[in-house]
Amino acid sequence: YVHLPFCEVICHYCDFYTARAKDARHEEFFEALNLEAQQNLPKLSQPLDALYFGGGTPSVSPPHLLHAFIDLFRPHLTPDTEITMEANPANINPENVKAWKAAGINRISLGVQSLDNPTLKRLGRVHSAESALESIRLIASEIKNVSADLIYGVPEQDKEIPAIHAKALAEAGATHVSAYHLTIPASHFLHRRLPDDAYAWDQIELVAEALAQRGFRHYEVSNFGLPGKESRNNGNYWRGGPYLALGPSAHGFDGDRTRWKNVADWEAYVRRLKNGGSPLDETEILTDDQRKIEVVFTSLRTLEGLDLTAFRARFREDLQSRHAAFFAKLEEEKLASLSNEKLVLSFRGRMLADEIAAKLL
């Protein structure tokens, strides 16, 4: 995972570490990023399954700097490596798309959020619905794997709207849709205008139906993909696999117990690397209990579900015997099914995944 923090506009609801693009010194930033990559390359013992540029808005980065950065990883890439970049519709033009493709980027994740112009305005987005759809068509003409983000649970949004938007995204050429429930801090003026959970679940159910008609699988609570277009990068997170993390505020994981986080300040990040130091800010060694929580919470959100055999082998704990009555209740209420030692939540069950996970721990 590579974090590129710069954004043209800082959205009021954003939780990620971001910085204003107008203050960016891209050459200097990428020099530091290249140094961090070189420090980490010796740790790669096998070809990369996925390389993911997240942010921020990575698409505001000069394409030649992205290309040179990807070149550092070239010996570890295969024709099969998924190379994703998050992009904003405002940065989509034929030159950029061609340059990204030439750099090896084979998947674009586009921050559409909505296809309703007043909603986009309320969310503080700089693009329009028309430009978002046009962007998908343009990307899809060069790069065959295009994901689009949608937000549902928006104040004053009709129930059917997210599904209508999801259908339009698929028709424009999106191969993957991520639909996120809008979350707003309780102190924010929009918070009290949010619809209740039941309304938002109805919205996502309609999204799932609209996309299923076009062959998309609802493979994780928030994610829908055509067969073979599921996000490999996210799949690795959900399976608890290892990943390196580069860039300010990026989090890494060794696949076992150790997590680490880089400093969340791009200028401090650049300074440290320039001076021969490390951008590392925190390291955390997870306890068995913390790992258990992560495994249960992430796996129940996916279509693969919670593998009870693997859980027993790893944590010496038999969830099936301990929660026999609860499992039976979940099956009876059609919230989950149990087969081949896997607990898989139904659509409604996945909407309650966090509550169900909490009961198992």
Q: Which residues bind ligand SF4 (CB under 6 A)?
A: 7, 10-11, 14, 16, 18, 55-57, 111
Q: Decide whether 11 or 310 has the Cβ nearer to ligand SF4.
A: 11
To ligand SF4, the closest distance from the beta carbon of 33 in angstroms equals 17
Minimum CB distance to ligand SF4, residue 28 (Å): 20
**Cα–Cα dist 103/117, whole Å:** 33
Considering the complex, state which of residue 63 and residue 111 has its C-beta at the smaller distance from ligand SF4.
Answer: 111
Closest CA to 52 of 115, 116, 118, 104: 104
Contact assessment for residue 86 and residue 58, using Cβ atoms and an 8 Å cutoff: yes
| Under 8 Å between Cβ of 193 and 122 | no
Helix, strand, coil tally for the chain in percent (to 5)? 45, 20, 35
- Residue 17 vs 30, nearer CB to ligand SF4: 17
Which residue, 112 or 306, has its beta carbon nearer to ligand SF4? 112
What would the DSSP string read from start to end of 95-115?
HHHHHHHHHT--EEEEEEE-S
List the end-to-end C-alpha distance of the chain, in Å, as a whole number: 29
Considering beta carbons, is residue 61 or 302 the nearer one to ligand SF4?
61
Q: How far is the CB of 235 from ligand SF4 (least distance, A)?
A: 22
Among candidates 47, 51, 138, 144, which has minimal Cα distance to 95? 138
Q: Give 70-99 as a DSSP string.
A: HHHHGGG--TT-EEEEEE-GGG--HHHHHH
243 bridge partner residues: 253
Q: 82-87 and 107-113: which strand pairing?
A: parallel
CB of 318 to ligand SF4, least distance (A): 42
Closest approach, Cβ 233 to ligand SF4, in A, equals 17
CB of 19 to ligand SF4, least distance (A): 9
Smallest separation, CB 5 to ligand SF4 (Å): 8
Give the span between the Cα atoms of 305 and 324, in whole angstroms. 17
How far apart are alpha carbons 180 and 207 in whole angstroms?
Answer: 11
C-beta closer to ligand SF4: residue 7 or 168: 7
CB of 336 to ligand SF4, least distance (A): 33
C-beta closer to ligand SF4: residue 75 or 118: 118
Rank residues 11 and 140 by Cβ distance to ligand SF4 and give the closer one: 11
Rg (CA), the chain: 21
* Continuous segment of H or E residues that includes residue 232: helix 232-238
In angstroms, what is the minimal distance from the CB of 10 to ligand SF4? 5
**Spatial contact of 114 and 165, defined as CB atoms under 8 Å apart:** yes
Cβ atoms of 8 and 57 closer than 8 Å: yes
